[in-house]
């Protein structure tokens, strides 16, 4: 069994890396959205909330794209 790879400009990267980067981007977008809606102060603890958002999006992308 091997890890799926992506060819990016001639270099192969593991697919989990792309999923993790997209999850982190989703957490940044959630941070901005929560600020616009003004509920950022209500989120306790923020480290747990944003890391949960990042992990959830990462795992969902992995399951949708590479799941069996």
Domain hosting residue 38, numbered range: 5-66
Q: What is the number of structural domains in the chain?
A: 1
**pLDDT confidence of residue 48:** 96
**pLDDT confidence of residue 49:** 96
pLDDT per residue as tens, the chain (68 positions)? 567 887 878 778 888 898 999 999 999 999 999 999 999 889 899 999 999 999 999 999 999 988 86
**pLDDT confidence of residue 1:** 54
**pLDDT confidence of residue 13:** 80
**pLDDT confidence of residue 41:** 87
Give 55-59's long-range contacts (Cβ < 8 A, gap of 24+).
55/23, 56/23, 57/22, 57/23, 57/26, 57/27, 58/19, 58/20, 58/22, 58/23, 59/19, 59/23
């Amino acid at each position: 069994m091997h890890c799926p790879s992506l060819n990016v400009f001639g270099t192969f990267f593991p697919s989990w890396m792309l999923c993790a980067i997209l999850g982190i981007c989703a957490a940044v977008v959630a941070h901005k959205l929560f600020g616009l809606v003004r509920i950022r102060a209500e989120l306790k603890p923020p480290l747990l909330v944003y890391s949960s958002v990042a992990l959830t999006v990462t795992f969902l992308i992995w399951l949708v794209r590479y799941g069996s």
